[in-house]
Chains A and B, each alone.
Chain A
Amino acid sequence: MIAASHALQRPRDARVLVIDARGAIRHAPRAEWIDQLRAGDLVVANDAATLPASLHGTHLASGAPIEVRLAARASLAAEELSFSAVVFGAGDWRTRTEERPLPPPLAPGERLALGPLAATVCGELGHPRLVALRFEGDAGAVWAGIARHGRPIQYAYMSEPLALWDVWTPIAALPVAFEAPSAGFALDWRALARLRSRSIGFASITLAAGISSTGDAALDARLPLAEPYCVPAGTATSIRDAKARGGRIIAVGTTVVRALEHSGGRAGSGLADQRVDATTDLCVVDAILTGTHEPHESHYQLLRAFADEALLAAASQALETAGYRTHEFGDSMLVFKTPRAALSNCARPERHKAWAQALTGFLRGAASRSCSASA
């Protein structure tokens, strides 16, 4: 496919490749994705706004220039100032991440000066590029510092530096995503009005979409990192009502699939730490509107929960042949779940939920422990 190198969220010639529930593949202008839906269906999008999560600065112990890319956080709360971060040595986004130098060794307790922000390294997280860090100061000053000094995370295939407005979807609300939930670029207010006029529901969840690529194979294999999310009560009700009337749930983006399958579609907060792949029984979501993903990406693994390998291979071939554009400003795919012959495991949501809560608590505890140890 062709890398979409311009920060245009809704190019007029954007396309969507549709895979229907019977496995048929067809092409359409992207604006027509709504025509694939029926009255009674429910579209669910991620309304996270994107943080300017790339912070340039200095490792004070060595004086070396570094770039910190905030990558994950244990909760959506503004008071949570501990982050996992991917750290690069000198250079910026114009160099491919694969070719970026390692940062100097980052020891617990060492301090980073990031523009107006000061952060303390809490520890390495199993890889020289991945660290836990904690910002110093009160939450208001930290968010002001991130808002002023940070830049959106971006990659070498882009032609120009991204501004914050380039990476906020039209529905962007709570600023918690580390990279844009870019499937939502396809949504604009006209699309939401069209959904309404066709009696198709619209609801949102908030999930702190994490970093999508680090350029390091070992680290990329650990992606996506655990991502905190919130399913509002109104959204849970909309999902229940849509299911009750036989409507389908259409997730806008992989992050929505992750949040809805982790929560079972119920209201509340959680930490989505599961992998969604060929072995996953989708219990809530029936279809996904997403970018055009290539077989080596973790997002592609998620698509295997919707369609089998042969069908996805045929879709990949069709994307390639038709010259679709890829990456966050690229074209889209709308994939309906192929019904499976085997019995589903979806009937035991309560147990699943209890597990998730236990794990969330553990991870929160771990995050605060690792930071207080070095403070």
Chain B
Amino acid sequence: MNDLKVAITGGTSGLGLALVREFRRRGARVAFVARTASAVAEVARSQQAHGIVGDVARKEDIHPVALQISAALGGLDVLVNNASSLGPVPLALLADTECEDFAQALETNLLGPFRLTKALLGALAASARQGRGAVVLNVSSDAAINAYAQWGAYGASKAALRHMGAVWDEELRGEAVRFLCLDPGDMDTALHARAIPDADPATLKRPEVAARELADAVVHALATAHA
């Protein structure tokens, strides 16, 4: 994995941070994106990764972020769309959900990944043409499949993300750019704590365990991208 070029959104906390660590541990070159400059600087320093300040939910941030990813890594093999928004916090019934909170979930969980993937598709396809393979991993949730009360904004956005990835995988098979959509499970992260503040951490998966599983899946998909 020494030459692998990986970009991860939401890379300063939870699963994203665990993914930055996991891919760095495996020797990949990593660029990550997050909104808070001080947290980005800290993770960049501690993980020797390339930190980029930006918000994937903002249309205007997408191309500057994509530019910095491609420039820093000299191309791109793997994009992990990990940054996620719960929508309303605390969680709310759909009927009580403000339109703005629903829109925020869609911007972060669906439109952001769409825009960033589109902006980076040239780099990913170039990697695939050079026989390196290319994978986009969309981080999903069981809320994308099952209907849970109070998870409407999040679940609808993650369901759409899942379907978008499936269509993209169908359309880009010829370019050898593969799309994965994986549910890491309920993890002990800040996002989970915002959703369910009284959950017992002992019952939750460690994000580093989930990161290892996701990295394994990415490596497998890269190896079989041309099959």
Contacts and interface: CB of A to CB of B under 8 A. Distances in A.
Interface of A: 47, 49, 51-52, 77-78, 139-140, 143-144, 146-148, 163-165, 168-175, 189, 192-193, 196, 202-204, 232-235
B103 interface: no
Interface residues of B, number: 30
B4 interface: no
B90 interface: no
Contacts of B172: 189
Interface in B7-62: 50-53, 62
A23 to B, nearest CB: 34
Given A49-B67, A140-B72, A175-B70, A203 B119 contact: no
Contacts of A170: 121-122
Contact of A232 (B71, B121, B129): B129
27 contacts: A49-B67, A49-B70, A49-B123, A139-B72, A140-B51, A140-B68, A144-B52, A144-B68, A147-B63, A165-B63, A165-B119, A168-B119, A169-B122, A170-B122, A173-B75, A173-B122, A173-B126, A174-B70, A174-B74, A175-B71, A189-B121, A189-B175, A192-B175, A193-B174, A203-B129, A232-B126, A232-B130
A171 B122 contact: yes
B222 to A, nearest CB: 16
Contacts, number: 89
Contact of B70 (A173, A193, A202, A233): A173
B197 interface: no
B64 A164 contact: yes
**What secondary structure prevails in chain A residues at the interface with B?**
mixed
B159 interface: no
B131 interface: yes
A234 B129 contact: yes
B213 interface: no
B216 interface: no
B183 to A, nearest CB: 28
